[in-house]
Structure 1
Amino acid sequence: MSETTEMAASSQAQANPLLQAWRTPFETPPFAEIAPEHFLPAFERAFADHAAEIAAIEHDPSTPDFANTITALERSGKLLSRVSAVFYDLVSAHSNPALLEIDTQVSLRMARHWNPIMMNAVLFGRIAMLHENRGTLGLTGEQMRLLERTYTRFRRAGAGLDEAAKKRMAEINERLAHLGTSFSHHLLGDEQDWFMELGEADRDGLPDSFIAAAKAAAGERGMEGKAIVTLSRSSVEPFLKSSTRRDLREKVFKAFTARGDNNNANDNNDIIVEILKLREESAGLLGFPTFAAYRLEDSMAKTPEAVRGLLERVWKPARARALADRDALQALVAGEGGNFALAPWDWRYYAEKLRQIRANFDDAAIKPYLSLDQMIAAAFDCATRLFGVSFTERKDIPVWHPDVRVWEVRDAQGKHKALFYGDYFARSSKRSGAWMTSLRDQQKLDGEVAPLIINVCNFSKGADGEPSLLSPDDARTLFHEFGHGLHGMLSNVTYPSLSGTSVFTDFVELPSQLYEHWQEQPQVLRQFARHYQTGEPLPDDLLKRFIAARKFNQGFATVEFVSSALIDLEFHTQPAEASRDVRAFERAELEKIGMPEEIVLRHRPTQFGHIFSGDHYASGYYSYMWSEVMDADAFGAFEETGDIFDPAVAKRLHDDIYSSGGSRDPEDAYVAFRGREPEPDALLRRRGLLETPEAA
């Protein structure tokens, strides 16, 4: 490099906050200083640095050992990890057209960067030699696990293929990266483009809390004084539950379920067809009969047959319950003099009425007691009682949006453990859904590195200074994502690749779904469910009715989920040619399983970001249910002691599940915690599906 080039590069680095040391509290990203134009130069530097680090490992003349190969790989790519974490947080949680354009470029560059690394024959040769001799290397348990995972990751990426197959695999990976990014951009585009304004005559049945949130949503879009329904699930589902206007329920429902399927510039049908063909081809190159067989080999489930077995075991009682509920809902329609067949946009509305009849409970009654701040406090308090951690809000940490809040997390000895960022409100710059991610992962390879953990949700914001009020589902989501957050915050491993949530997809949902159980415990609700205006605690009578109503409508919820998981599995086990018409494939598969006409998939294919925005959950949407078998069984360990905060059980939960990250085999980790393998019927009992439909 010439002196002039070096000076130019140095000047660029000084002007780019992504390439400088962060002089912020806890070395957190200085979001106010970061602009879209900083990302591409930062990525280019990060790619170059990482490539040089990989080349040094590849060309190291020393005999391969754990330190100069596996540990060196773990130390490489730090700048790339740092830049990527900030970039993808913004793309998902607070995007703009400039960032989305850069995302299209970065996804392709990322594939082109990683392909030659993951298919590097020399590098794989070093790893394979160590793997073959692993029993003689004197490794710790965590090091052995890291070697196994590194070897598996390279093998499954195609490092052992011949050159022609590697070339084709690289082409496939690049195209899939582009298609996945396009899919998510299309989905965001459809969600941003649509809203429905609510005039005074359109508000019948809608509670004050919904109107307040609808006004806040309008204000967020620059429509002060108006009220709108958006395509955020936190807007759509309460509207469908409460609105007496059947015509508007139909309009909102159809818009929600048509995202990505409108024959417009955001249509995702052709993208799905191409993704499935390319996944099938890549699996074939690696010697697998289907993409699902490839994907599930590296999971707890192991095979498509095992997944289908679990889903079908749950499907039958869930469908029977849903059909019985459908008949009861249709009877309600008739009893009101409605001369129409129950439709999907009617289900939630009449299910709320049926719940009031059967359990004398509706969501509107409890929402005033479930303010966002109180549910955050409840989630924190449960973590304190279980794991000894404490939370202190910090106002001095830079954030990407004014609504984002940050807490410092300390361990039981008062030592800094993590920072936790909460980004809770829906906005048009944020993709739909709820998720946990990180800006920095915990590790101890070169000194203690504390994690920066993020929860993102899409709750409706209260208007005019009023608090945000959560539905029971929203409160459960908050605890779910916080469970993922704890998995990241409590991580206590040496190596970055094994940190926090770096576990099998069908195990990663265990810490999150298990944590949901505490949200619905009477002693937690009695302490934290307080009326947002009066401060009065949740009345015992309402608490009892809420608990009694928990298993209500579980047929619907389970059918909605399991059908989506089955469609995912079928997309990836049948020949790709079978799904060349995505809509026809969807119809045929739903007919095959006997899907009730009054229920639709939780995620129709064109909006199924879990499996088409990337491949993390492709053939893996079942994971939530696989983990639920464990979480329902795991909470029993606390119930059996008579104390939901039992210290001995909590210590095992911390040591074996939350803090161990990916440093041990998940089956071994679960058995270490529970003392045995999970008992599958715990899931059916939790959902109330072991009883006959009439007994519900």
Structure 2
Amino acid sequence: MPNALLDPWTTPFGLPPFAAIRDEDFGPAFDVALAEARANIAAIAGAAEAPTFANTIAAMELAEAALDRVSGVFYNLAGADSTPAREALQRDLAPKLSAFASEMTNNRALFDRVEAVWQGREALAGEERRVLELYRQMFVRSGAKLEGEAAARLTAVKSRLAVLGTQFSQNLLADEREWFMELAEADLEGLPDFVRDAARAAGVEKGASGPVVTLNRSLIVPFLQFSPRRDLRQKAYAAWGARGANGNATDNRGVAAEILALRDERAKLLGYASFADYKLEPEMAKTPAAVRDLLLRVWEPAKRQAEADAAVLQAMMAADGVNGPLEAWDWRYYSEKRRKAEHDLDEAALKPYLSLESMIAAAFDCANRLFGLEFRALPGPFYHADVRGWEVTRKGAHVAVFLGDYFARGSKRSGAWCSAMRSQRKLGADVRPIVVNVCNFAKGTPSLLSYDDARTMFHEFGHALHQMLSDVTYGFISGTSVARDFVELPSQLYEHWLEVPQVLERHARHWQTGEPMPADMLKRLLAAGTYDQGFATVEFVASALVDLAFHEGAAPADPMAMQAQVLEGLGMPRAISMRHATPHFAHVFSGDGYSSGYYSYMWSEVMDADAFAAFEEAGDAFDPAVAARLEKFILSAGGSQEAEALYLAFRGRMPGVEALLKGRGLDAA
């Protein structure tokens, strides 16, 4: 039977032939692609010719082409549109792909060839020297120098970690998919129309008889902001906080404990004092001490601000006749009332000016003014009916394909992310990227965003630009293949353009009348930019410090007890929870990506505040000279140099934490 994943793709721009791909195609396609990759690696390792960059490193770059193609499709679909068949295959693939990776890095003949090329590295320069350095680092950090029992144990540890990461993700998705709270019409009292509409749409999606609240952030957060029903807020918040910790088959607490123990063992096998030392070695921060120093410098002013805000909210609650202390399910409700009172800013009145369509247009317009990119809608079909596509061009030349998958659904994991179905490279052919932004906005007619939603969309589009504007030879350093604490710089930097008044004046228009956002509303919106940053900073930094504590020393036998201990030591404000508690901390436990690395958003924020200041100093948010430097040294450069060298080339100096504190309104806290 034909397999669309293995047959040549004749689709425009080499897009996957989504309509022809069946779930049953993936297993056989992975088998063929893995066999091809193994054969290619064996040929490189067993080559009779003396090792060179071309016949060893460059050859490895192309050895997994078929596997990259199949994986690029499958893992995008598995995260954004899961099915039972895809989830089962994910569980099956986790140990298989881990075994293949271990086979490659444990291949002594292959590593010897890499080492031989490394010995002659003085003859290389530029991208070749950098790619060689990173390949060798990958081999060594994967255990290539280990032998015997140690090598075998490390392989087993990595395989088990791959299985557990998949299990953690699927447990979390199951909890988020299965829970919802039905609402009677009377329970909608006090909710703005956009929340009522979202609840009714969610009820239809869940097959309920009426409106529901789900654990989708774009629904539960506005419910917590606007519902006057404290009992319902408490029930919803409890379910949100209990994801992955319900004492059932999808409970993640034991999974997290095993992951932490195996990470600690992995680090010790490789000769590191802790997993944090191992993980941070190739990052900008380098050491756990540097991470802790940054986080604690931000923690104290953030905590002071949060405690001052809590006192105001407590007084508001008492004025409403509610006895007892301010709780986590009260904060957003009273904070929203306070924002409306102090800034005359009502999210229900703001949302009609922030339709999804207008914000997509704003993101595209900024990319055009900064980098000359143009976007032409493509007809599809894509992997889901909700997905939209655009061809990205510059001066008539094809740059990339961009896919936007914006709406929440039960088959999609929570959060927002950017990925590439195909990454840019020049080796072998001029390969242009296929980039995907995935969000979880509430679907509506039209879909109206909160300002936070709009920031999320700009954030993910910043990642997309990093992929689309990549201009390197080797896929290994393409796009977002950079240090973890540098990867968030382009995304967080792009958020700043949403705050540029001329952008909102042009694009924040009422979805019905087309009228621009009133000048006084725009002024109030921008003036409230640092509102409630004590809360936002505390919930983030607490999560980052717990993540660091988990990995900085011996693995805790009881992660929940350590979480409680860390929060108590910090003096965590009573009415604020971690942004991501351990059982649903997917950044840290669904894979190694952000383990010991959740701090990286804040590390990058130190740079993004300073980077946008370069535009401010030029007197124009769209200054062409600064934009050209940004593209040359950050967005197009990928991982072609160390992150610090790239930032220095762009800005001329490294920033301090002061710009971050000022940007969050905490410099005087």
Query: Shorter-chain TM-score: which interval?
Result: over 0.9
Aligned to 1:323: 307
Which deviations, in whole Å up to 9, do the C-alpha atoms of 1:25-79 show, x marking residues without a partner? 1111111211111111111111100000000110011111110111001111001
- Report the alpha carbon displacement of residue 586 of structure 1 after superposing the two structures with TM: 1.5
Q: Aligned partners of 1:621, 1:128: CA distance in 2, in Å?
A: 33
* Structure 2 residue 87 is the aligned partner of structure 1 residue 100: yes
Which deviations, in whole Å up to 9, do the C-alpha atoms of 1:493-551 show, x marking residues without a partner? 00011110000100000000000000111110000000111111000100111011110
Q: Aligned partners of 1:487, 1:217: CA distance in 2, in Å?
A: 33
Aligned to 2:116: 129
SS at match of 2:402: strand
Q: Retained in 2: the 8 A contact 1:210–1:238?
A: yes
SS at match of 1:416: strand
Aligned to 1:447: 429
2:393 to 406, 410, 413: 410
Aligned to 1:665: 642
Q: Aligned partners of 1:362, 1:278: CA distance in 2, in Å?
A: 48
Matched ranges for 1:595-674 at <5 A = 595-674=572-651
Identity %: 56
Amino acid of the residue matched to residue 551 of structure 1?
T
Amino acid of the residue matched to residue 200 of structure 2?
K
Aligned to 1:194: 179
Q: Aligned partners of 1:133, 1:27: CA distance in 2, in Å?
A: 38
Q: Aligned partners of 1:153, 1:583: CA distance in 2, in Å?
A: 32
1:480 to 442, 459, 468: 459
Aligned to 2:48: 61
* Structure 2 residue 271 is the aligned partner of structure 1 residue 287: yes
Q: Aligned partners of 1:624, 1:263: CA distance in 2, in Å?
A: 31
Which deviations, in whole Å up to 9, do the C-alpha atoms of 1:138-190 show, x marking residues without a partner? x2311111011111111100001122211000000111011010000100010
Amino acid of the residue matched to residue 218 of structure 1?
G
Deviates more, 1:358-367 or 1:32-41: 358-367
1:501 to 480, 488, 500: 480
1:203 to 164, 180, 188: 188
SS at match of 1:531: coil
Q: Aligned partners of 2:297, 2:567: CA distance in 1, in Å?
A: 17
- Report the alpha carbon displacement of residue 580 of structure 1 after superposing the two structures with TM: 1.8
1:152 to 132, 137, 160: 137
SS at match of 2:595: coil
Q: Aligned partners of 1:690, 1:204: CA distance in 2, in Å?
A: 39
Q: Aligned partners of 1:97, 1:631: CA distance in 2, in Å?
A: 40
Matched ranges for 1:32-431 at <5 A = 32-135=19-122, 137=123, 139-223=124-208, 226-395=210-379, 397-411=380-394, 413-431=395-413
- Report the alpha carbon displacement of residue 680 of structure 1 after superposing the two structures with TM: 2.1
Q: Retained in 1: the 8 A contact 2:364–2:375?
A: yes
Q: Aligned partners of 1:167, 1:581: CA distance in 2, in Å?
A: 27
Q: Retained in 2: the 8 A contact 1:291–1:573?
A: yes
Q: Retained in 2: the 8 A contact 1:498–1:661?
A: yes
Amino acid of the residue matched to residue 470 of structure 1?
L
- Report the alpha carbon displacement of residue 563 of structure 1 after superposing the two structures with TM: 0.2
Q: RMSD value over aligned CA atoms? A: 0.9
Q: Retained in 2: the 8 A contact 1:29–1:398?
A: no
Amino acid of the residue matched to residue 379 of structure 1?
A
Q: Aligned partners of 2:501, 2:554: CA distance in 1, in Å?
A: 49
Q: Retained in 1: the 8 A contact 2:550–2:559?
A: no
Amino acid of the residue matched to residue 50 of structure 2?
T
Amino acid of the residue matched to residue 408 of structure 1?
E
Q: Aligned partners of 1:217, 1:119: CA distance in 2, in Å?
A: 49
SS at match of 1:669: helix
Matched ranges for 1:521-560 at <5 A = 521-560=500-539
SS at match of 1:421: strand
Give the TM-score taking structure 1 as reference length. Answer: 0.95
SS at match of 1:17: coil
Structure 2 residue runs of 5 or longer lacking an equivalent are: none
Q: Aligned partners of 1:31, 1:195: CA distance in 2, in Å?
A: 31
SS at match of 2:542: helix
Amino acid of the residue matched to residue 350 of structure 1?
Y
Which deviations, in whole Å up to 9, do the C-alpha atoms of 1:585-629 show, x marking residues without a partner? 211110011101110000000000101010010000000000000
- Report the alpha carbon displacement of residue 690 of structure 1 after superposing the two structures with TM: 0.4
Q: Retained in 2: the 8 A contact 1:176–1:278?
A: yes
Q: Aligned partners of 1:416, 1:220: CA distance in 2, in Å?
A: 38
- Report the alpha carbon displacement of residue 450 of structure 1 after superposing the two structures with TM: 0.8
Amino acid of the residue matched to residue 424 of structure 1?
Y
> How many residue pairs were aligned?
669
Q: Aligned partners of 1:41, 1:347: CA distance in 2, in Å?
A: 51
Structure 1 residue runs of 5 or longer lacking an equivalent are: 1-11
Q: Retained in 2: the 8 A contact 1:28–1:398?
A: no
Deviates more, 1:415-424 or 1:139-148: 139-148
Aligned to 1:7: none
Which deviations, in whole Å up to 9, do the C-alpha atoms of 1:368-399 show, x marking residues without a partner? 1000000000000000000001001011x331
Give the TM-score taking structure 2 as reference length. Answer: 0.99
Amino acid of the residue matched to residue 330 of structure 1?
Q
- Report the alpha carbon displacement of residue 328 of structure 1 after superposing the two structures with TM: 0.6
